[in-house]
């Protein structure tokens, strides 16, 4: 048994959650559940990122004090963890006093170790990204993700000596000691590192809503440094120190640089073990544009769950395109998956097999799922974050089982009085249904439970409702 530490990014609370946020969390949850089912000890962490200019501006716009605003929106993210049926072990907030103190102490240590110095800086700041952008990154003078012109900022700030770590980080990623997945992302980040690393500012003079720099109270800690440290502070706050280092950080591609470059450098400077893996996923797009509040094309995950149920949403977001790539999402596509794969495929198979068992008054075994070779292969896909492929393979098993039933026509055998044949055929089909339930457990936890329950009780009802 090994300790597995899996994290989602902590979410900005400048606005309520959208489906893009739910995506990272669902993926992390599938992996966490998979590991637990395998018998590993898991610490699955998520939470909210609450300081900085972006949040302060949003609070002001809403006529609220930042903390009051943060409490309100953070609650929505926390309640989304319940809606999506996430199995997170902890939910961290960067405004927790324990976290704030941890960050201050951590930075003081880096300062004492001479990794931090003061310098003037001028740059183009995108509040949406909470980072400086280079001219090269702009499209028509604007941030391509937020479609906004960045602000020119000139400040004297505290800087971290990121440039000292260039060769080390390059080697760590190149050798997969820090494994950046998928491979294309690894190549992308190596290419960027090879262009050189500049030191990075770790404080802000102009931002009040933040943790005070302990040796200079005129500045607050840069929100990204504050946020990254959640992964460490949480292991202390929630008494999980033996879970360090993280097995995997799951992040969207917009925040790969922070996780694959700045974060390991900070950990190296402070003398901590490094995360083993960083899995970088793509964006949800709507008609080709990244889903975001700023663009105004968001889908509300809470409404989706209310209407279709958590499992349908969980299935849809991981089934439609490979985890790692971008993909266009829509309600029509979700309904297509519900009616086809879920109600028509899995729901139909379970229903058919269980009602045949019931009609024939058979007493069959429902215990001890033995994974087939195929089942083991599928689990390997889940372990490697190939969620779409795993689901495709599971649904091939479903289609095969449905076909076998159509071909064997057990209802005919029953009419002909071939009781033993019916019994052995249905036992094998029931075992298949139970294996499938086992394989879908991390993805569709409620559905898997329901199938197992109905198999035992033979108190049957439809598992999915089709839409019209
Ligand atoms: N607060 C930072 C993360 C700090 S972690 C130490 C942040 N927050 S975020 O709320 O903007 O984004 C959180 C996650 O949601 C990221 O992984 C991001 O990629 C993901 N998504 C936000 N919009 C998304 C889509 N449209 N599609 C897929 N994922 C997206 O960044």
Task: Please tell me the predicted confidence (pLDDT) of residue 293.
Answer: 80
Task: Please tell me the predicted confidence (pLDDT) of residue 11.
Answer: 98
Ligand 1 close to Cβ of residue 49 (< 6 A): yes
Residue 350 has pLDDT above 80, yes or no: yes
Ligand 1 close to Cβ of residue 266 (< 6 A): no
Please, which residues have CB within 8 angstroms of residue 189's CB and are 6 or more apart in sequence?
A: 173, 180, 256, 257, 260, 261
Task: Please tell me the predicted confidence (pLDDT) of residue 287.
Answer: 87
| Active-site entry in 4, 18, 54, 249 | 18
Residue 366: pLDDT band with limits 50, 70, 90: confident
- pLDDT tens, residue by residue, 249-286: 999 999 999 999 999 999 999 999 999 999 999 999 99
- Give distance in angstroms: CA of 252 to centre of ligand 1: 6
Residues 71 and 293 sit within 8 Å (Cβ to Cβ): no
- pLDDT tens, residue by residue, 379-406: 999 999 999 999 999 999 999 999 999 9
Residue 150 has pLDDT above 90, yes or no: yes
In the chain the domains, ranked by start, together with CATH numbers, are: 3-281 (3.40.50.620), 330-457 (1.10.730.10)
- pLDDT tens, residue by residue, 72-113: 999 999 999 999 999 999 999 999 999 999 999 999 999 999
- Give distance in angstroms: CA of 363 to centre of ligand 1: 50
Task: Please tell me the predicted confidence (pLDDT) of residue 363.
Answer: 82
Ligand 1 close to Cβ of residue 251 (< 6 A): yes
Ligand 1 close to Cβ of residue 284 (< 6 A): yes
Per-chain mean pLDDT for the chain: 95
Mean pLDDT of 327-355: 96
Residues 119 and 219 sit within 8 Å (Cβ to Cβ): no
pTM above 0.85, yes or no: yes
Residues 430 and 414 sit within 8 Å (Cβ to Cβ): no
Q: Angle at Cα 99 formed by Cα 95 and Cα 104, nearest 5°?
A: 105
Task: Please tell me the predicted confidence (pLDDT) of residue 239.
Answer: 98
Task: Please tell me the predicted confidence (pLDDT) of residue 168.
Answer: 98
User: Which atom, in ligand 1's list, is nearest to the CA of 254?
Assistant: 19
- pLDDT tens, residue by residue, 15-74: 999 999 999 999 999 999 999 999 999 999 999 999 999 999 999 999 999 999 999 999
- Give distance in angstroms: CA of 25 to centre of ligand 1: 10
- pLDDT tens, residue by residue, 174-195: 999 999 999 999 999 999 999 9
């Amino acid at each position: 048994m090994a300790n597995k530490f899996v994290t989602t990014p902590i979410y900005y609370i400048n606005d309520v959650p959208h489906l893009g946020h739910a995506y990272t969390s669902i993926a992390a949850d599938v992996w966490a559940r998979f590991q637990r089912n395998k018998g590993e000890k898991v610490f699955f962490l998520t939470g909210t990122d609450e300081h900085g200019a972006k949040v302060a501006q949003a609070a002001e716009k809403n006529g609220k004090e930042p903390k009051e605003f943060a409490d309100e929106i953070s609650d929505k993210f926390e309640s989304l963890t319940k809606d999506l049926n996430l199995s997170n072990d902890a939910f961290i907030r960067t405004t927790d006093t324990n976290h704030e103190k941890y960050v201050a102490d951590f930075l003081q240590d880096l300062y004492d170790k001479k990794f931090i110095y003061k310098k003037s800086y001028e740059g183009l700041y995108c509040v949406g990204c909470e980072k400086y952008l280079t001219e090269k990154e702009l499209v028509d003078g604007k941030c391509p993700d937020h479609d906004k012109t960045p602000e020119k900022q000139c400040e004297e700030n505290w800087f971290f000596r990121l440039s000292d770590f260039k060769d080390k980080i390059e080697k760590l990623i190149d050798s997969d000691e820090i494994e950046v997945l998928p491979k294309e992302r690894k190549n992308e980040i190596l290419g960027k590192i090879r262009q050189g690393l500049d030191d990075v500012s770790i404080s802000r003079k102009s931002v009040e809503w933040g943790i005070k720099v302990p040796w200079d109270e005129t500045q607050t800690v840069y929100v990204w440094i504050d946020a990254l440290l959640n992964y460490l502070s949480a292991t202390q706050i929630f008494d999980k120190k033996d879970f360090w280092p993280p097995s995997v950080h799951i992040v969207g591609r917009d925040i790969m640089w922070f996780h694959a470059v700045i974060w390991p450098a900070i950990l190296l400077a402070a003398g901590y073990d490094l995360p083993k893996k960083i899995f970088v996923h793509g964006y949800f797009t709507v008609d080709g544009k990244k889903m975001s509040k700023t663009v105004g094309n968001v889908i509300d995950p809470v409404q989706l769950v209310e209407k279709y149920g958590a499992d349908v949403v969980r299935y849809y977001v991981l089934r439609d395109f490979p985890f790692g790539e971008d993909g266009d999402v829509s309600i029509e596509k979700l309904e297509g998956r519900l009616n086809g794969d879920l109600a028509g495929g899995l729901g139909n198979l379970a229903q058919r097999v269980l009602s045949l068992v019931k009609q024939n008054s058979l007493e069959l075994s429902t215990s001890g799922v033995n994974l087939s070779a195929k089942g083991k292969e599928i689990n390997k896909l889940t372990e490697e974050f190939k969620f779409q492929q795993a689901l495709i393979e599971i649904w091939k098993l479903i289609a095969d089982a449905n076909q076998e039933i159509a071909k064997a026509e057990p209802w005919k055998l029953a009419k002909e009085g071939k009781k033993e044949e019916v019994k052995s055929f249905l036992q094998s089909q029931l075992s298949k249904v139970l294996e499938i339930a086992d394989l879908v457990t991390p993805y569709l936890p409620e559905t898997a439970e329901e199938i197992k329950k109905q198999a035992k009780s033979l108190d049957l009802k439809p598992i999915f409702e089709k839409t019209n």
